[in-house]
Amino acid sequence: MYDFLHWLLSDKKDGVLFTCFGVWHWCYIIAALLLGFFALRYLKNKNEACRQKTITFFIDLVFCFYISDYFLRPLAFGEIDIENLPFHLCTSTCVACFISRHNKRLYEYRAHFALLGFVSNFVYLIYPAGIMWYRVHPFCYRALSTLVFHSIMAVYGLLVLAYENNGFTKKLVRRDFFTTLCAILWALLGSYCFNGINGNYNYRYNWFFVVRDPFYILPLEISRFVMPVLNLVLFFSVQLLVRFIAFKLKNKIAK
């Protein structure tokens, strides 16, 4: 049974390979855009209760995908991948979005986590480095599960931006900055705690690229100090832009 499941879920590196902006990459991007479009259209004339139930369904679904991945990856790759721990921005926002959706104390932060999750997962869909590094078949388990996860997370963030109260006030902007800062500190904690887990402190783990830049251009002595600050500036700036655009579009549609 294990041999069959391992064969079924393992990387398929023969034949067609997933390439950035190749035909299959575009198919995944278009599928995510269509899912977002139809979800927006479906909820357009629905009442608030239906909208909240549907939005909650999306985050519950993607969280289930994330948890199930822990059980399927050992079958696919022979071991539990420590990279899958929730320290990357996409996985940490998934957990944060799920918890804030169901926890009253964090409920008022749900839109801030969703905004950060929308930005990070949309960026990953455009440049899925984690799949390209392995040079796998476009529909193997690694590619399919990863891109479906990021697509649903992006759509969840889009729905929150569209149908929940997201203004452009100093209070909301401060909270955006705070959530981004917390995500970076959390990634730093994971990256520095788990590096050296095998007795070799070699900065192998690089969650949220807080230790090394994605392209390994900067030397480690510089990047480990530059990248946390650079990520904070870049992602917070993008959040401001997305929040501002969403605010303007919602006001225009309301008129």
> Mind listing the pLDDT tens digit for each residue in 139-149?
999 999 999 99
Give the least confident one: 51-55, 83-87, 162-166. Answer: 162-166
Contact between 151 and 32 (Cβ < 8 Å): yes
List Cβ<8 Å contacts ≥24 apart for 226-230: 228/184, 228/188
The more confident residue out of 242 and 5 is 242
Question: Residue 255: pLDDT band by 50, 70, 90 thresholds?
Answer: low
Give the least confident one: 25-34, 125-134, 170-179, 225-234. Answer: 125-134
Q: What was the pLDDT predicted at 203?
A: 61
pLDDT at 197 exceeding the cut of 60: no
Task: Give the distance between the most distant pair of CA atoms in the chain.
Answer: 61
96-121 per-position pLDDT tens digit: 999 999 998 899 999 999 999 999 99
Residue 16 is inside which H or E element, if any? none
pLDDT at 150 exceeding the cut of 60: yes
Q: What was the pLDDT predicted at 202?
A: 58
User: What's the CA gap between 71 and 134, in Å, rounded?
Assistant: 20
Mean pLDDT of the chain: 90
Average pLDDT estimate for 133-159: 93
Average pLDDT estimate for 41-70: 94
Per-domain boundaries in the chain: 2-254
Question: Residue 199: pLDDT band by 50, 70, 90 thresholds?
Answer: low
Q: Is 197 helix (H, G, I), strand (E, B) or coil?
A: coil
Contact between 195 and 204 (Cβ < 8 Å): yes
pLDDT at 92 exceeding the cut of 90: yes
The 10 Å Cβ neighbour count of residue 22 is 13
